[in-house]
Amino acid sequence: MFKSSISYLIGAIALSASMAVPAQSRFDDVTMKNTALAGSVHMLQGQGGNIGVSAGEDGILIIDDQFEPLAEKIAAALGKLGSDAPKFIINTHFHGDHTGSNGWFHENKDSTILAHENVRVRLLSNDKNNETALPVITYQEGVNLHFNGETLHVWHLSNGHTDGDSVVWFEEPNVLHTGDLFFNERFPFIDLQSGGSVAGYISAVKSLLKKIDSDTTIIPGHGPLATKADYEAFLSMLEETRDIVDSHKQNGMSVEEVVKEGLTDKFNSWSWGFINEEKWIRTLYNG
Ligand SMILES: [Zn+2]
Ligand SMILES: [Zn+2]
């Protein structure tokens, strides 16, 4: 009796101990990599959308904040740049790989979150989101911030990746954070269910290319740091693949037939885990 209750007790302790240990997370091995760019601007990469940082006398401002399990790692990386408490967070759009740490930074570091109005609407419509994750300052067309001696232009572009996209151009250091209006070296995800469109995406890329020059450093939403030439190559890929799919569609081919036909080998390198050739063709066909 005594022995069995001991073993019961040990078993119960072991069970509760194993329950207390959080499940192995896909974020456990993620490390934050910082790259210093021009002026006050840095790029922080972990997992999810690339984070833009302004670090200087006024403190820290970040553009996007990846996933919540990474919040403490992001804060630690920001601490090395001067403060682990960003005064401002700008969200380029509502997707979880760009807004996941909003609530954590708002609650723990008192950060003020800014975004296009539709980012707030879309975050609010998801029951899983806490009130603290919502942007507290929203805008329609854009807003300027004067921070760390630089001018940040936040521009909204309509119906591209989603219906609430913003990009941020740091004027003096000439750095552009495109959010997911640029997947460098990869087929992009276009969220057709959330107000994104292929035509809007391409026209957003074109209008941004007109605003920048060959000296501009580009932080893409995903993929490595880029130049204007990289963004032009991305636009060419978008237009050429759209034309291929459009002409098949006009010839009466179904989406399944176009997927079977495929694109030309020239575009193989743009295919990646999340958006492979098939998914990209379906987006072009439907979008
Ligand atoms: Zn993204
Ligand atoms: Zn996105």
Distance 98 CA to ligand 1 centre (A): 6
**Above 80 in pLDDT, residue 3?**
no
Rounded to 10°, the helix 102-109/71-79 angle is: 60
Instruction: Tell me the average pLDDT across 226-252.
Output: 98
If you average pLDDT over residues 17-35, what whole number do you get? 77
- 212 alpha carbon to ligand 1 midpoint, in Å? 22
pLDDT exceeds cutoff 80 at 9: no
pLDDT of residue 25: 82
What are the extents of the domains in the chain? 29-236
Which ligand does the CA of 64 lie closest to? Answer: 1
Average pLDDT over residues 118-141: 95
Q: Which pLDDT score is estimated for 16? A: 46
With 60 as the cut, is the pLDDT of residue 156 above it?
A: yes
Q: Which helix (H) or strand (E) holds 34?
A: strand 33-36
pLDDT digits (tens, 9 = 90+) for 248-264: 999 999 999 999 999 99
CA of 273 from ligand 2 middle (Å) equals: 15
Q: How confident is the model at residue 92, as a pLDDT?
A: 98
pTM of the model: 0.91
Cα of 93 from ligand 2 centre, angstroms = 7
Centroid of ligand 2 to alpha carbon of 276 (angstroms):
16
Say if residue 11's pLDDT is above 50: no
pLDDT of 233 over the 90 cut:
yes
pLDDT given at position 22:
58
Ligand 1 centroid to Cα of residue 99, in Å, is 10
**C-alpha–C-alpha distance, residues 175 and 41, integer Å:** 8
Q: Which CATH architecture has domain 29-236?
A: 4-Layer Sandwich (3.60)
Q: Using the predicted structure, report yes or no on whether residue 6 has a pLDDT greater than 70.
A: no
**Is residue 17 pLDDT above 90, yes or no?**
no
pLDDT at residue 19 greater than cutoff 60: no
- The answer to whether the CB of 94 falls within 8 A of the CB of 123 is yes
* CA 48 – ligand 2 centroid, Å: 9
Ligand 1 centroid to residue 48 C-alpha, Å: 6
Mean pLDDT to the nearest integer, 26-34: 95
Higher pLDDT: 129 or 256? It is 256
Closest CA to 181 of 92, 272, 114: 92
68 CA from centroid of ligand 1 (Å): 14
Mean pLDDT of the chain: 93
Give the closest ligand to the alpha carbon of residue 164. 2
Alpha helices by DSSP H, 21-129: 71-79, 96-99, 102-109, 117-124
Please check the confidence at residue 109 and state whether its pLDDT lies above 90. yes
Q: Looking at the CA of 67, which ligand is closest? A: 1
**Which helix (H) or strand (E) segment is 156 a member of?**
strand 150-157
CA distance 276 to 13: 47
pLDDT tens digits for range 40-78? 999 999 999 999 999 999 999 999 999 999 999 999 999
pLDDT at 148: 98
Ligand nearest to the CA of 221: 1
Integer Rg of the chain from CA: 22
- Average pLDDT of 84-105? 98
> What is the Å distance from ligand 2's center to 186 Cα?
13
- Closest listed ligand to the CA of 163: 2
11 Cα: distance to centroid of ligand 1 (angstroms)? 44
Distance 247 CA to ligand 1 centre (A): 29
